[in-house]
Structure 1
């Protein structure tokens, strides 16, 4: 630790001595030494220098002011300025007040000539002429303004273009430059074709990708016979404020090319030759060509395409007259051939060019015939809202319809689809009104509680046009349905059966429901026989409290929904043996066999019948006849019995051991005799 303290002390003394030497043996006390050590990091203070090029003044003009903390340690000091714009070219641009450090500008600055200035600031002790602090050096950048218009490297350009050049790029590259600061709007350039003479074919400018160069393009074809020179004025404009521009002129000289086919002056030629004559000119053929004479586009090239199979002829071009010279080079035998047809073709040295845009064109005028446009609903699908069971006569919807071809007042409306028949529509206004109470539980209402209506708007056009609108009626629910038992006939296999209940209303008007046993209706043992567990929900449990004989039981129930609506209902419960399943076992089928007791009774009856027949056979019948009862014995039943065989006597019947029985019922007596009569 002692070594570190000594080291720090040595450094402090060294700095203090150095400062004393710089100030010209200026005596400092300990407190001043400490202040100098604390301020050793603070030197120059420079406010921002902002200079705009071409500043109009007035001059001299304040630029900035310099400060240095060490000026407080001296009785006299002097600021000094040097560098570009002061002591170096361009001189006399900047100056500084040597007392207070104020820097002045004395003339406008052109940024394109001097984009920045390298300046050095010093502070000098007047007494010793020595520098008080280190030199401050920095660069002053000049702010750009849009004072330079873009320009073309060549304000007037010339180019030669062949007439047969295909459309696309022209061999005219254009490069525009701007002296203002790069990568700013002041130097961002757009180039365009300002004008062209003549106007056809259309000439444009296109930027060459990846470069700052543009190139002329054209669409169509040049025609040397019509126009031999074009004057194109192009403009370069920057994006500064205000925008500056300049122009250049491009003169395009059109060079003739082979755009005209040579044509023979005569369609047919006749000539003659002597038999076996050779190496002799026999015919000259001439052509006309509208291309420039004595050019490859004009010079003709002849050939024999037919009639020279044996090589008797040749044809050449006269370079002066452009005629074709037909010469016989091998004689012909008159005995073999008396007449020869020779076909000659001609073309130019330069291939023929035909402009692609030279095809025939025709103008076609298409007449558009108006048809009746249909009406248009403002909303093709409309959502309306209502409550079920609300009173009839409420206007639920009125359409808004437009028609560009017909009078809206003459549109009539029809109801196309209303499956439940709840609505009617006014044919003139289209108002849809309820004529029946709506029911949310209707089968025509979908699962989202929406009832759909379709209406039509029909205009009076010729023919009439129709538009269809859809109305979605969203129905709100009310508590208009009582809960009910879903399945009223139940099978109890054990001691409990599930009773399903439901309610067509939605929450909070429907289930879960609350169930209880109903009135016993004289059945005192009802509540001792049954109970409900659970008694709440959409499925209640009906439990038998004791073992019940197999058979059918009627159980009355009271069902209540969430809003307190109560309904009485009953279920029929069949208690049976299910054999481990959930359905009653089927009863045994009936058979035709008899038991032993039945067979015994049947045999006993048959034996009794046989004994009776034997007894009757043993009876004897004599000549006795049946006589009527005396009148005094006929006082009962005489009114109801009819006497037969009163006039004629009956046959004698010998009765032996006859059996007679008196039958008396309802004051009627009769004698029944059973006998066997043998005559």
Structure 2
């Protein structure tokens, strides 16, 4: 018991010291209260009435309280104005302060925690209105095969939310009214020991009913095959004759022969007996899910030009069920093929599935594909949930395919007289697409060595005189074009040369324009090369002449030639710098079936700032050369040396002639 003076002291302290912080007040309010309102909850420890100020009720955050609570200013009681629902809000956090009109706090805040007491007003609900469960024939009694789920909105952990499960009725009631049992707390549904009966033996004895002579018992003699190590497959009730499942597991496709002995006199010695046989065949159920023989296929490579319909790979799946209907499988591409590029093909009764290409591949669009193939059983499985199905992952790598080079003709032909000189241009091999990758050209089977081809430009020239060629003959070579960026890509084309009779008319002579001096570094100047003089074909309007540089690689590197008109061409420097000297440039001129070569001399010189050739200047008169200057200097030094030798010789001879001369008068010896 708390002394009365201590209670009075506890009430006096908050009133005597308004600034003290009172402890938090806890209040319980019954849910769905059906009495009169307002309902007074508890008296708050407010200070004495003489203290000026007004009572302010607010929420926990300090804002004005919105809800069913209020404070009676006369009595200081906390009250509620309406019924509360715990499922709507289980707790309310309030605070009470005493404040002046200008908002100054005189007392508080007093924290109040209102807890709504739960009432059993929520009805339990199952997670589903109807449950559908498939039960395997081999399900053991007492082992849960399904769990019911239900929820209750009342307070967790209280008696109001403590659920129990019960079986109300079973329809149909055959073969047993109590075939199933339900664990009341967990909702675990299982077979009762009665839903395991295999057979019920019925025996009649004509002896007096109720006497020992008609008291029969049953015995199981010998199951076939022999009893398993885990126990019997079947059990026989000696009194009722009911055959039930034993502890040993069943195997699909197994045939078991049971021999049952029935004896009267309650099985005592001397009783009469009879036997019967029960043939039991264990049928298969679809309790195995199909599986792939492997879960990962090594990456497969397909060129991007692979034809649709091509077989990519073959997958294999197996099913452990015995019944053929249960081994039927269904396959699908579960992931990795949004565009439908691949497809599956299989026979219904086969575990082999063919993965085929259905659409064209593109390396740029997708350099690889990662396919996930799933297999499921066609028949509805029984027993536990088989899961999402077995899968196998197939990785397909797309190989980029670059087409071989394409030329502007499928084959080439040219006709030349047997007298065509070396260096003559026959034709030019060109790619079909000028914007394609650059090509490198070569001749494959030029057995006579009559031809040569420019590696970059594709120009085919006569390499040497066509000795041995006869008019009317044909000469075939292969021209190989190789991609410069992809050396493995190449193509070849036939070039057929038809030899013609040499022309009997004299070949007109070529007369180039007078030589000019060309400056290096290169300037915008060139040499004009003229066609043949007095050619009747040109005068008769039979077509222009064609000009080309000779097959000399140096000439083709250093010079450039372009046509001016039908009778003249313009020769310029091909490089920015060409060695200053006189050059002889070979030029091939052709007209119809006539081809000849000319040599054009060109003088290349250094250029001054005005773009003119700088020429060597001769020695000016009266100016010594370097050699003459050196000779004069050497001669002068020799003359000075001879003069000094003569002077010293003269002094030496004079001293020998006068030996009595004083020592002081003898000249000093020159220091060496």
State which structure, 1 or 2, has the greater radius of gyration over its C-alpha atoms.
1
The TM-score with structure 1 as length reference comes to 0.31
